[in-house]
Amino acid sequence: MDDSTLIRIDKQAMIRALHDDRAFSALFLTYLLSRNIRIQEDLVDQLFNSSEKRLERVLLLLAHFGKNGKSVPIILKISQDVLAEMIGTTRSRVSYFMNKFRKLGFLEYNGGVHVHSSLLNIVLHD
């Protein structure tokens, strides 16, 4: 989590900004398209993958895999309840899978979560 500032933009002001500022318009459309793609991926993931596979995917996304080919430790103390909510299962299932992943050497966690590239290899081969 990061500190954020939210502002409300009037509809007419937003239309004007999108029309008048090409850089802002391109940035905003890029954001909307990437968000739409992510929502579609999440829906397909929920419909066709097991909760274990969904947890693997969420952990890889949180670790920013695919960016420079390296994992970034998840500094946040993300609770198993939050992970369970993200993947649509119970905390006890998340706990079971996290312990399984740790025993198999796919991740380490103590204060934060560090995902190893071996988890990515498992996801890619399935």
Residue 103: its pLDDT value, please? 93
Cα–Cα separations (whole angstroms), residue 54 to 24, 33, 118? 34, 22, 16
Q: Where are the beta strands (DSSP E) in the chain?
A: 107-109, 113-115
CB 111 within 8 A of CB 77: yes
Is pTM beyond 0.75? Reply is: no
Q: Where are the domains of the chain?
A: 1-48, 51-126
From the list 19, 90, 8, 12, the residue with the least C-alpha distance to 55 is 90
- The CATH code belonging to domain 51-126 is 1.10.10.10
Residue 87 burial (10 A CB sphere; 0-12, 13-18, 19+): buried
pLDDT digits (tens, 9 = 90+) for 43-88: 888 888 899 989 988 888 888 776 665 666 665 678 889 999 999 9
| Confidence check: pLDDT of 109 > 60 | yes
User: Predicted confidence band at 16 (pLDDT cuts at 50, 70, 90)?
Assistant: very high
Distance of CA 17 to the CA centre of its chain: 30
DSSP-based three-state secondary structure for 71: coil
The label of the residue with tokens 């802002």 reads 24
Quote the pLDDT of residue 66: 62
